[in-house]
Amino acid sequence: MKINYYLLLIALIISANMDAQNKRLRDYGIEIGVLKTGKLNAITDVEGVTVGHETIIEGDNVRTGVTAIIPHQGNVFQNKIPAAIYIGNGFGKLAGYSQVKELGNIETPIILTNTLSVAAATEGLISYTLNQEENKNVRSVNSVVGETNDSWLNDIQGRHVKEQHVLNAIANAKGGNLEEGNIGAGTGTICFGYKGGIGTSSRKLPESLGGYTVGVLVQTNFGGVLEINGVPIAKELNKYPYLDKILNDADGSCMIVIMTDAPLNTRNLERLAKRAMLGLAKTGGIASNGSGDYVIAVSTAKENLIPYQSDSMFNEKKEVRNDDMSPLFLATIESTEEAILNSLFAAKTLTGRDGHTIESLPIEKVLELMRKYNKIKQ
């Protein structure tokens, strides 16, 4: 009986520790913006969207991975999706940009990884597409792959991401609650001098504004002067760019993926994507010279999917009017800001290549500052 009591006590302690580790921004009483979140406060609040990860941690020096975002559960090549890509700052190697810019759609899942693994990710997407029975006659695939440079913590020159890792990430994709922080493409990333990673958030518009959902997923690997809900965290903690050239260098990158069920054309998707950079700026990001800040915006509205082959000369679409875009803009800004902050709150201290260690955000100190500025909801 006594043994069972101790086992129960140990289980409760482990459970409590896991709950503490899995806390997100709102769990601490910090609320971003004015719009309501989706049920999960994640990109998977958008119907049909799934996310998968493949985390690669090997030995002392390999700290990297792959994240896959799948916009719908059909054959993405056969039913392409309206999309746009906005370049906030173009110091990056995003694959697939020119065809998306020209045609206004994507035809593969979106893959995020590290800078020198874009080629492997592209190969993985090509194999994934060609391996589907309906695509047996396909002769061209526009893989969409985003990246950030995780070389401080990861042996990036070793190019440890392989095609199979990409296929695994796609196969692992699921809906529901998502893991954040040190996972998938966020395994080796750094944000504002702290451990960064994968983060996500969403907003659900009221029915009077269309009732649409906007979901955002980020891969954070950039710098700047960190602010949380207007509180000058970096200034208060004396940790911001150029005080310390190594840990607080502002260079880096941020990949931002937006999914919405609002029926939007490519032009308005690009307008939506531009607003994500405002969300990044609200966290203190500065889109520095060496930063590759890319935003991929996708409309998953079923009525606007684009068939690979059609007997009709025309695409008939329902599209949100320009005059009704502003609520979606706000939803994007708020979701991006919160997704970035969620990546920081979820990430854990990590040691990687050559013994380099990046500490996680000092949450207790941050909470003290949030209370000082009356920014925690009681």
Q: Is 323 a catalytic residue?
A: no
DSSP string over 91-145: -S--BSHHHHHHHSEE-S-EEEEEGGGHHHHHHHHHHHHHTSGGGTT------EE
Read off the DSSP letter of residue 27.
Answer: G
Q: Provide the 3-class DSSP secondary structure of residue 291.
A: coil
Tokens standing for 274?
A: 């531009």
Q: Is 293 a catalytic residue?
A: yes
CA distance 302 to 310: 16
CA distance 294 to 94: 8
**How many residues are given for the chain?**
378
Centre a 10 Å sphere on the Cβ of residue 301 and count the other Cβ atoms it contains: 20
Active-site residue among 288, 293, 343, 360? 293
CA distance 343 to 348: 10
Active-site residue among 291, 299, 335, 360? 291
Centre a 10 Å sphere on the Cβ of residue 288 and count the other Cβ atoms it contains: 18
Phi and psi at residue 21, to the nearest 5°: -70, -30
If phi > 0 it is left, if psi is from -120 to 50 it is alpha, else beta; for residue 222 that is beta
Q: Is 354 a catalytic residue?
A: no
CA proximity to 185, closest of 116, 101, 259, 83 = 116
If phi > 0 it is left, if psi is from -120 to 50 it is alpha, else beta; for residue 95 that is beta
CA distance 341 to 280: 10
217, 339 Cβ separation under 8 angstroms: yes
Q: What angle do CA 133, 136, 137 make, to 5 degrees?
A: 145
Active-site residue among 143, 253, 335, 343? 253
Q: Which residues are catalytic?
A: 253, 291, 293
